[in-house]
């Protein structure tokens, strides 16, 4: 039996175990990928802790920002071949024939599979992908920096489209972590004016470095909503909440301009109260946004390949996975951590 190293969730209450597991074999329509780098998304942490109502089944291998080389293909694979550089994603595959798949809303497919959740992901040295759904990485890009595009990038790009903010208008990015710092860059590339909220001066500095005009520290600003309403002359036209904290959602609704739209992307396990009176009288829209379709992914990768998006990343070994989760929970990560799967 051929083996590889992988970080395995055995129990929601315990750290991940880095151990030898069997190399998977590609089935019909699948490919085996030697993973070079994998980004670490906060969703992987939620998965490992069993934070959400629908839980994965341990033992499983998290990870949905994996990039690497195709080393074998199963039967009936024509879209990709051995040697191609591809990735996995949260949206790992779908049925292709339900009402959502047929109407350009494939990420709502009830029969979808999710990388690192219902299918083993990229926290292993090898992973399987569905050849019809695996994102193809553009030629000539830095592979470590490409990894965060596969979840953080596509998610914020789609979420910004869903916010309906137009070029020249204000957008709020709440949470300047892995997703949020990339959101600032997509928003700028899409012509938007950016204000951010996070809870430390380091995150504000990261936001400014990537082009935010105003970066609010919600812990030290006496009234973040009033500050944003004032600077944007009546509130932001739309927003994207990536913060892993319920209070940030309430605050983001408060920062909206009349008629504004908020895309909810962050997935803290708690709820938040939505004020009925202001939502109705100010004609606000609050909607969820989940990753992106294959077309959104190709567009998000194209922005990156053209040099418009430069994720701030730190490369660390797979063996550090539990320390990386600790740093993420403590808010100590600048941008994204990407694991080198073979050091």
Min dist. Cβ of residue 159 to ligand NAD (A): 7
| Residue labelled with tokens 């033992």 | 59
The answer to the question of residue 47 lying near ligand NAD (CB under 6 A) is: no
Is the separation of the CB atoms in 92 and 115 below 8 Å? yes
What minimum distance in Å lies between the beta carbon of 22 and ligand NAD? 29
Tell me the HSE value of 24 on the side-chain side, using a 13 A CA sphere. 25
Cα torsion 289, 54, 313, 291 to 10°: value is: -20
The structure tokens listed for 123 are 């926290």
C-beta of 38 vs 245, nearer to Zn ion: 38
Residues at the site binding Zn ion, with contacts judged by CB under 5 A: 41, 43, 94-95, 98, 101, 109, 151
| Residues in region 180-239 near ligand NAD by CB under 6 A | 180, 197-199, 203, 218
Q: How far apart are the C-alpha atoms of 342 and 144, rounded to whole Å? A: 13
Binding string, 280-299, against ligand NAD, x = CB under 6 A? ---------xxx--------
Closest approach, Cβ 201 to Zn ion, in A, equals 26
Tell me which of 24, 29, 177, 239 binds ligand NAD, using CB under 6 A.
Answer: 177
Q: Which one of ligand NAD, Zn ion, none interacts with residue 244, CB within 5 to 8 A by kind?
A: ligand NAD
Supply the DSSP string of 307-339, one letter for each residue.
TS----EEEEEGGGHHHHHHHHHTT--SSEEEE
* 175 counts as binding ligand NAD under rule CB under 6 A: yes
DSSP for 115-153, please give it: BTTTB--SSBSEEEEETTTPPBPPTT--HHHHGGGGTHH
Which residue(s) pair with 170 in the sheet?
193
Residues in CB range of 103: below 8 A, 6 or more apart: none
Indicate whether 162 belongs to the interface with ligand NAD (CB under 6 A).
Answer: no
Q: Which is nearer to ligand NAD, 77 or 150 (CB)?
A: 150
Q: How far apart are CA 287 and CA 142, in angstroms?
A: 33
Is the CB of residue 211 less than 8 Å from the CB of residue 194? yes
- Stretch in the footprint of ligand NAD (CB under 6 A) among 29-37, 126-134, 207-215, 325-333: 325-333
Site for ligand NAD in 27-46 (CB under 6 A): 41-43, 46
Q: What's the min distance (Å) between Cβ of 143 and ligand NAD?
A: 19
Which of the choices ligand NAD, Zn ion, none does residue 290 contact, using the CB cut-off of 5 to 8 A by kind?
Answer: ligand NAD
Judged by the rule CB under 6 A, the positions of this chain that interact with ligand NAD are 41-43, 46, 151, 155, 174-180, 197-199, 203, 218, 242-245, 247-248, 265-268, 289-291, 328, 331, 333
């Amino acid at each position: 039996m051929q083996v590889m190293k992988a970080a395995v969730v055995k129990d929601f209450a315990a750290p991940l175990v880095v151990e030898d597991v069997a190399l998977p074999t590609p089935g019909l329509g699948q490919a085996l990928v030697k993973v070079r780098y994998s980004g670490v998304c906060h969703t992987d942490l939620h998965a490992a802790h069993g934070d959400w109502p629908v839980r994965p089944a341990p033992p499983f291998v998290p990870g949905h920002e994996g990039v690497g080389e195709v080393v074998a293909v199963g039967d009936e694979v024509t879209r990709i071949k051995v040697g191609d550089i591809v990735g996995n994603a949260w949206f790992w595959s779908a049925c292709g024939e339900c009402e959502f798949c047929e109407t350009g809303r494939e990420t709502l497919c009830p029969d979808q599979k999710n990388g690192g959740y219902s299918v083993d992901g990229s926290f292993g040295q090898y992973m399987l992908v569905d050849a019809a759904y695996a994102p193809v990485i553009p030629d000539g890009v830095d592979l470590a920096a490409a990894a965060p595009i596969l979840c953080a990038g596509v998610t914020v790009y789609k979420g910004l489209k869903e916010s309906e903010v137009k070029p020249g208008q204000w957008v709020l990015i709440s949470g300047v972590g892995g997703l949020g710092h990339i959101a600032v860059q997509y928003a700028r590339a899409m012509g938007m004016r950016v204000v951010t909220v996070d809870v430390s001066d380091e995150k504000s500095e990261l936001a400014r470095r990537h082009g935010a005009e105003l970066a609010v520290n919600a812990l030290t600003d006496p009234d973040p909503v009033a500050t944003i309403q004032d600077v944007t002359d009546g509130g932001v036209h739309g927003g994207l909440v990536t913060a892993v904290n319920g209070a940030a959602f309430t605050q983001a609704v408060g920062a909206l301009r009349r008629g504004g739209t908020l895309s909810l992307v962050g997935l803290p396990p708690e709820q938040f109260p939505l004020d009925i009176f202001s939502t109705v009288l100010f004609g606000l829209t609050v909607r969820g946004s989940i990753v992106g379709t294959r077309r959104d992914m190709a567009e998000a990768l194209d922005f990156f390949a053209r040099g418009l998006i430069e994720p701030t990343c730190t490369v660390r070994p797979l063996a550090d996975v539990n320390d990386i989760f600790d740093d993420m929970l403590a808010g100590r990560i600048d941008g994204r951590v990407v694991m080198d799967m073979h050091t």
